[in-house]
A and B are shown apart, each in its own frame.
Chain A
Amino acid sequence: MYDGGKIITGLIIGVILLSFPFWYNLGKAAKFPEPKLTPKAKQAGQCVETKVYMKAHHMQLLNKWRDDVVRKGYRLYVGLNGKMFKMSLQNECLKCHSNKQEFCDKCHNFVDVKPYCWECHIEPKEAKGGK
């Protein structure tokens, strides 16, 4: 090989950089989030929509709720099984899921999203206890 030293060095640097995901996690066991339901949610037995739908689409639902309330002035939403829901982040979602840290944040920390809603909306009391 001509200029072998330089080329091999470059190649090694390239391989190390590109294989970042493979060595970055070494030795760190991944903890998959298991969002906990509050007794109140358990009692209700269902979410606004099906669980599968909520898992993937809850942010879109919240967006729709926000627009419906703030722009159109609607306040009620007919959800799964014809159940009525007040379209409200604090007073509906977080009434059932009042354990925000054990529920919403569990998933969000895992996938690294930090919804900015809480700059204005008030988190439920238990969240005050610290991180």
Chain B
Amino acid sequence: MSFNLAFYSAFFAVLGLVGIVLLGLGAHLYVIFGVVVPYVAVLLFFVGMIYRVVRWGRCPVPFRIPTVCGQQQSLPWIKRTLGDKIESPFTTRWVIVRMLLEVLCFRSLFRNLSVSLDKEGPKLSYFSNKWLWLWAITFHYSFLVVLLRHLRFFTQPVPGFVHFLDSIDSFFEIGLPQIQISGIILLIAVTFLLIRRITNPQVRYISLPSDYFPLFLIIGIAFSGILMRYWYKVDVVAVKELALSLVHLNPQVPKGIGWIFYVHLFLVCVLFAYFPFSKLVHMAGIFLSPTRNLPNNSRYVRHINPWNPVVKVHTYEEYEEEFREKMKEAGLPLEKE
């Protein structure tokens, strides 16, 4: 697919979503965008995630296919360092350690390399390239912090850890309302991820609308959130009344919340509804990756392919038992007399 088509179709899709909300608000569809859409989105999210995970669970993994980079467990005199134990785990315990590193620190992305061909001669060189790792992990953690901070709208009383995050986030006490750094870092990081997709020719070549769409969506969410907090203020007390009434399953739409809130909320709802059916489902998929979650023990444990058909076997012992008399008559040698 051409770059222009992929890029602009995703861009205008997100713009179209914003247009839909604005049209809807023009027609006073507050209940649709404040109640119906959020509930449908949350429902789709949970049902979709469960469906995807169960469907993955039903796929057999016929072979051990962990991709490892460490000395595997072997003879007792072959030494294994801590690194080997983590990178080539032998027991479930070490698999858990490996998974934690993968999920919390993006271990395998940290190994990311850039490949280049020398201009002078046919010489291929690999460089360590941590930029993707850096921005990816920055993006994911700032997203998490922003999401956790948003719990102040959905809980009453607000749990202590949310307030703790809030106070760290506004550590510099800049302006009023105070600038919360994670939201701004989120926007910067996701913008970097987009720029990378556009400027790196290899990545650009393989990028589809489904790669650009989530990026534009998240940029839209972060941008509308930041606009709402620092410029087009809304009545946050009313927002919290709406949010609490939603989680109490007793929905009421307070009057007078600004339009930008509904734009923000609608984009978030689209993100949640879209989540299970897109590449974003890697949030659950990471835990079900057979190249990460299997112990590397195929020299120790016999793994039987669950696909193997049941083969009826007739061992030599049984054969001899069956034809003993005839074999004796014919003078054939027998194992058991």
Binding site for B on A (CB under 8 A): 1-4, 7-8, 10-11, 14-15, 18-22, 24-25, 28, 30-33, 52, 55-57, 59-60, 62-63, 66, 107, 110-114, 116
Contact = CB atoms under 8 A, between A and B. Distances in A.
Contact of A2 (B58, B151, B166): B58
Nearest to B258: A56
B236 A111 contact: yes
Given A22-B247, A56-B233, A111 B152 contact: yes
A112 B152 contact: yes
A1 B54 contact: yes
Contacts of B244: 25, 30
A2 B306 CA distance: 9
Given A14-B284, A60-B233, A112 B163 contact: yes
A2 B71 CA distance: 28
A19 B47 CA distance: 12
B158 interface: yes
Contacts of B284: 14
A25 B152 contact: no
A4 B176 CA distance: 51
Contact of A32 (B53, B159, B176, B241): B241
A4 B57 contact: yes
A111 B234 contact: no
B332 interface: no
B173 A2 contact: no
Contacts of A1: 54, 57-58
A24 B258 contact: no
A2 B152 contact: no
Nearest to B233: A56
Interface string B154-196: 1111110011001000000101110000000000000000000
Nearest to B167: A114
Helix, strand, loop or mixed for chain A's interface?
helix
B320 interface: no
B256 interface: yes
B172 to A, nearest CB: 12
Given A1-B54, A1-B57, A59 B176 contact: yes
Given A56-B235, A62-B176, A112-B152, A25 B46 contact: no
B259 to A, nearest CB: 13
Nearest to A24: B155
Interface residues of B, number: 43
Nearest to A32: B241
A21 B233 contact: no
A43 to B, nearest CB: 25
Interface string B32-75: 00000000000000100110011011111100000000000000
A25 B248 contact: yes
Interface centre among A2, A15, A19, A59 (most CB of B within 10 A): A2
A13 B49 CA distance: 13
B212 to A, nearest CB: 26
B237 A21 contact: no
A112 B162 contact: yes
Contacts of B53: 7, 10-11, 14
A74 B274 CA distance: 52
Given A1-B54, A2-B61, A56 B236 contact: yes
A19 B158 CA distance: 16
Contacts of A60: 176-177, 233
Given A10-B287, A11-B50, A55-B237, A25 B176 contact: no
Contacts of B163: 112, 114
Contacts of A62: 176
A8 B57 CA distance: 9
